[in-house]
Amino acid sequence: MPAHHPSHPRSPLAGPSTGPSPPFPIPLSGPIVKGFGRGSRELGIPTANIPLAGLSVGGHEEVESGVYFGWAGVDVDDQGRRQKSGGGEGKVGGVWPMVMSIGWNPFYKNSVRSVEVHILHGFAQDFYGARMNLLILGFVRPEYDYVDKESLVEDIRTDIEVARRSLEREAYARLKDNPYLVQFEGGEHEQEIAK
């Protein structure tokens, strides 16, 4: 059972200043699928979800439940429109900072573990079915239970700021250019997982 949110102040940064340390960075990939529908509707914090099986694809199904930060590459443009790959002409898709939850969401009493990614960018439309490549660079905090929705949202907003500040450090910022983040070919295995 996850603990309730601690009363002490949160650290403004996550991860060592020298950059990711093992087991990070962790690559994770999968198609974006519909989640529980709570991120945008109830919390005002939209998420791009990938199947939990994506953890198995990355070989990290044992990852501790909690909140993480890193970079998300998605085969969409800045508005959320799908990008077609082909011909090797330029970069396809984009890379944005992200904060993500891997876990049970105890506030909602989920019966299944989920992977929910909040991309720190405002898109004009949803992009279900797009491929997302994640580079998880560090652990922000464990999963907590909350007494009310307002406390949950407040903590998520803090997570977003911790992720943003953490990724601004040079050792993390340079990983935005990792070629893996925009390699969207060969996602057949992940597409099968989504079915």
Active site amino acids: 116
Rounded alpha-carbon distances, angstroms, from residue 64 to 76, 132, 142, 149: 29, 21, 8, 23
49/36 Cα distance (integer angstroms): 9
Q: For residue 75, give both structure tokens.
A: 């085969």
Whole-number CA gyration radius for the chain = 16
Q: Are 71 and 96 in contact (CB under 8 A)?
A: yes
Q: How far is CA 148 from CA 84, 152, 154, 179, in A?
A: 42, 7, 10, 41
CA atoms within 13 A on the CB side of 153: 12
Q: Residue 95: helix, strand or coil by DSSP?
A: strand
Q: What are phi and psi of 135, to 5 degrees?
A: -120, 100
Contact call for residues 144 and 156 (beta carbons, < 8 A) = no
Q: 142 in helix, strand or coil? A: strand
